Chain A
Amino acid sequence: MYEPSGRPRPLSTQAARLILIFLAIAFVSTQTLSGQALRVAGASGLPGGKLNCSLRAEPKTLNPVFAMDVSSRAVTSVMNADLLHINRKTDVVEAGLARSWEVSRGGQTYTLHLRRGVRFSDGAPFTADDVLFSFRVYLNPDLNAPQRDLLIIDGKPLQVTKVDSLTVRFDLPRPYAAAARLFDGLAMLPSHLLEPLEKSGKLKDAWSIATPPAQLAGLGPFRLKSYRPGQAVILERNAYFWKQDPAGHALPYLDEVDFAFLANQDAESVRFAAGQLDLLARLSADSYAVLEKQAPQQHFQMMDGGPGLEFDFLLFNLNSDVAGRLPEAAAAQKWFSQSVFRRALSLAVNRDVLVNLVFQNHAAPLATPVTPASQTWLNPLAHPDKQDLPQARALLTSAGFQSRDGALFDSAGNRVKFTILAPSSNRQRSEIASLLRRDFAELGIDAQVVSLEFRSLLQRVTQNHDYDTAVMGLSAGDTEPNGNLSLWLSDGSLHLWNLGQKHPATQWESEIDDAMHRQMYMTNMAERRKTYFRVQQIYREQMPFLSLASPHMLGAAQAGLLGVLSSALDPAMLDNVAVFSWKR
């Protein structure tokens, strides 16, 4: 309603207007401070408090470019941010440092619009130049950043162009199906701090665990406060963080995050029970079960995030360089090279018992290396094999194997026996090996378990190829098919059953190669799914290794900690650490 200006306004109205103006100014000022801050839907909490976490090992580096081990990744992921981010709950790519993006030229060009007013944790503004610098680092062949291989599509690196100070264009050599997901986890680096180091060739050694906090800056919710060698990394709230809750409060809520180094899981559980740790990620099923028993009295939040991306499997040695060089492995290979034999072994394995005994039911039996965490990409027709000994025996008989006095012999009259390598440091995989041995014994197969130190086992599997079978576990890099690329492709580094192939050794491997290459560049989702389903179907027919189980992502948090979410992708439980808060 309009009021004539001549009349004096009541004092209350004036006060109200003053308050309004004040609020408006306040709002504008926060707007200019945080520019176009990201409003995190559903976040609400009280600021303050401290989070105590643990790491099983000391981080090797604080440099997000070279962080390869779990500990370094956990710390750097909290200290850094990416342009686009995969929502861990929905598995959909969402805006991050880029507030929006456009795809053009049939999926070959991505134009990203950066948020205005974003600042690094040292207060320096974040602009397109930082993006350019970051990608120059990731793509630099001399630096060998582990992310580099992901950014090379069809043999050519993607092109990065600055359009203006807040717009960056990425040109892909080919339309790439999962291009938007590439940006997830690529930390944007402060060019003002790192460019001088890059120029002098010292980037590789930059941001070690001994670097003083003032020389580090990131875009993540927390920044380094101090590093205590051998003891802990202490992070403090990044006052310049660019996310807000719906009420407009700046995130993160927490003032401090401490990562203590504690190599022993039992000690970790004790500290958690004592309330000295607030959050446990990557719990083993055993520790989880122990804590679960105390949960009702202590009000722990026990978090079973369902299957992760790890798959445990029995690897057959199908390497072609074994013949002549390693007679024993070659003898076993005569059996392993028959897909019928491999399928029969798969039918002999009781995956339900395995899941129950080894993982206390906190795992999912697997049909293929694609775990249930990749819901969209899991072939609905591929069911995990149930133990079916009669059928397994029938398959073996059909392949010319004979059973005499409970022992299995091949058509040449040789007793079927081989060894199963298991890493001595990993109790669960050792247990899996002994369960497999028992299951195979049902078929009359004499399988011996051999425990080896992890690196010795790796050397045999990846370099010597001196083994019969091995129980191993791998983690896919992503929920979508490209996360398993190096496993499927016959020249991939994780094509463990037959490494170092110049050309696909078998017809079916070449068919998988072909399908995997095709799906990479498909933009039609349905078609891509169909192609990946076909790959899984070929796997089911050939069974080059036995997929066994995928352990759940297990974690625990103290009762008062709000906002904790367990996810399959890295960092396991800390992805939304910005919205963690303490209940009052």
Chain B
Amino acid sequence: MHPLARRLLYSLVSLIAISMLCFALLRAAPGDYFSELRLEPGLSQKTLTTMEEQSDLSKPLIERYALWCKAAVRGDFGLSLTYHLPVVQLLGERIANTLMLAGLGLLGAWILGLLLGSVTGWPAIAARAFAALLWSIPEPILALLLLLGALRFHALSPLVEISSPAGSSWMHLRSLAGRIALPALAMTLGYLPVVLRHVQRGLDAARRAPAVEAARAHGFTRRRILLSYLLPEAATPLISLLGLGIGSLLSASLFVEVLFGWPGLGQLLLNAILARDTNIVVAGVLCSAVMLITGNLFADLLLWLHDPRLRAVAR
């Protein structure tokens, strides 16, 4: 079988396994969608029981899963219990926002990480200390500090997009940029230490690599050494990290989103997990898994392009 076909088959199998696990875990988790309604003073036991019976939750797990699979094959991931809306619609509206925020955040972290990571001497030590400091602050607190800082300098962008029905796309873009800046910065700062350390380590090792040393000893041009010898040597671990980063695009920004009120998947998934809204959780987790698989595939493809030795093995 073609290696790519085999990879895709494995991916499919793991997606099926993940969906099963999700169902099983959500069933095993204590409490269900109706737990909180039981504390509603105006709601009688009888009404609750009928509500439960009307929902799918009363059916056996296997049957529910089978029904879900049947629909999922057609692209229908069911209705949300809480919102009475198709899960696909709910997620679809938000996924783009999450991808935009996380993508921007990770991009920022990579650019900063590559820049800061490639300096040497005392600035490198300063960068490392900076990364350690950032790393030691939990992400939610980092985000909150950012919020407070923005408050202090009157740099908070409006929470809700200014409603201008006839506003030009330029205005729209500007307001979007204003709103995404802070959460994206929070993402960037949260992810920067990881990138920075990897870049520093990778470049350190690459600088000592025999081929790079030889290139310097031969006196190749400075740019040539950097682009064609140093960076390729350092790239392998960085490509893997990039793959991981892409894989986590959907899940990395959850906390930041909740804190900044960013209209992404974060709040939806968080509430769905708390509310045991099975269909949303399963679809959300599957999306993340697809993202992870895509990220890994992408990284492997890059590695394959990068390293001729891997191409030789695949042949």
Contacts and interface: CB of A to CB of B under 8 A. Distances in A.
Is chain B in direct contact with chain A in the complex (CB below 8 A)? Answer: yes
A453 B268 CA distance: 19
A260 B160 CA distance: 7
B31 A458 contact: yes
Contact of A261 (B31, B79, B267, B274): B267
A456 B31 contact: yes
A477 B41 contact: yes
B261 A146 contact: no
In this complex, the interface size class of chain B, counting residues with CB under 8 Å from chain A, is: 35 or more
A232 B160 contact: yes
A460 B94 CA distance: 34
A225 B163 contact: yes
B85 A210 contact: yes
A408 B104 CA distance: 61
Nearest to A256: B163
A414 B298 CA distance: 65
Given A57-B271, A147-B42, A462-B35, A208 B83 contact: yes
Given A477-B42, A494-B41, A231 B31 contact: no
A391 interface: no
B84 interface: yes
A312 interface: no
Interface string A138-160: 00010010111110000000000
B221 interface: no
A229 B263 contact: yes
Nearest to B43: A146
A179 interface: no
A260 B41 contact: no
Interface in A471-518: 474-477, 483-487, 491, 493-494
Interface-central residue, A204, A260, A277, by most chain B CB under 10 Å = A260
The main secondary structure of chain A at its interface with chain B is mixed
A464 to B, nearest CB: 9
Given A204-B84, A230-B97, A231-B161, A58 B271 contact: yes
A267 interface: yes
B160 A228 contact: yes
A474 B39 contact: yes
Interface stretch (A237-245, A268-276, A378-386): A268-276
Contact of B263 (A68, A228, A276): A228
Interface string B160-180: 110100000000000000000
Contacts of A428: none
Interface string B20-44: 0000000001111001111111111
A239 B154 CA distance: 35
A205 B84 CA distance: 6
Q: Which of B43, B51, B54, B262 has the most CB of A within 10 A?
A: B43
Contact of B84 (A208, A256, A277, A491): A208
Interface in A58-72: 58, 60-61, 66, 68
A264 interface: yes
Contacts of A258: 160
A209 interface: yes
B147 interface: yes
A270 B35 CA distance: 32
A234 interface: yes
Contact of A274 (B44, B90, B156, B263): B156
A30 B75 CA distance: 54
A462 B30 CA distance: 12
Contacts of B263: 228-232, 261
Nearest to B144: A266
A456 B274 CA distance: 10
B89 A57 contact: no
A485 B42 CA distance: 9
Contacts of B36: 454-455, 458
A226 interface: yes
Given A208-B83, A453-B30, A262 B159 contact: yes
A228 B37 CA distance: 27
Given A231-B261, A458-B31, A267 B144 contact: yes
A494 B39 contact: yes
B159 A276 contact: yes
B16 to A, nearest CB: 27
Contacts of B84: 61, 66, 204-205, 208
A271 B179 CA distance: 13
A475 B271 CA distance: 21
Contacts of A225: 163
A81 to B, nearest CB: 19
A369 to B, nearest CB: 11
A232 B261 CA distance: 9
B267 A263 contact: yes
A422 to B, nearest CB: 15
B160 to A, nearest CB: 4
A456 B44 CA distance: 21
Given A267-B259, A458-B39, A61 B83 contact: yes
A14 interface: no
A264 B186 CA distance: 16
Nearest to B38: A462
B35 A455 contact: yes
Given A230-B94, A270-B148, A475 B41 contact: yes
Contact of A486 (B29, B41, B264): B41
Contacts of A277: 159
A471 B302 CA distance: 55
A477 B43 CA distance: 10
Contacts of A66: 84
Most buried by B among A68, A147, A277, A458: A458
Nearest to A263: B258
Nearest to A226: B163
Contacts of B276: 455
B76 interface: no
Contacts of B158: 276
B82 A60 contact: yes
Interface in B132-170: 144, 147-148, 150-151, 154, 156, 158-161, 163
A511 to B, nearest CB: 22
A271 B42 CA distance: 34
Contact of B35 (A54, A210, A458): A458
Contacts of B268: 58, 230
B304 interface: no
B48 interface: yes
Given A57-B267, A264-B258, A276 B35 contact: no
A458 B275 CA distance: 12
A270 B163 contact: no
Contacts of A149: 42-44, 47
A496 to B, nearest CB: 9
B270 interface: yes
A455 B160 CA distance: 32
A456 B38 contact: no
Nearest to B255: A264
Contacts of A287: none
29 contacts: A58-B267, A61-B83, A66-B84, A144-B47, A146-B40, A148-B47, A205-B79, A210-B89, A225-B163, A229-B93, A230-B263, A231-B160, A231-B261, A232-B160, A232-B263, A234-B163, A261-B267, A263-B259, A263-B270, A266-B147, A273-B151, A276-B159, A453-B31, A454-B36, A459-B32, A462-B39, A483-B41, A493-B43, A493-B48
Given A266-B259, A267-B147, A493-B48, 12 more contacts: A57-B267, A60-B82, A68-B40, A146-B42, A146-B43, A230-B93, A230-B97, A260-B160, A263-B261, A267-B259, A270-B144, A485-B41
Q: Which 5 A-B pairs have the closest CB atoms?
A: A455-B31, A230-B263, A231-B263, A456-B30, A477-B41
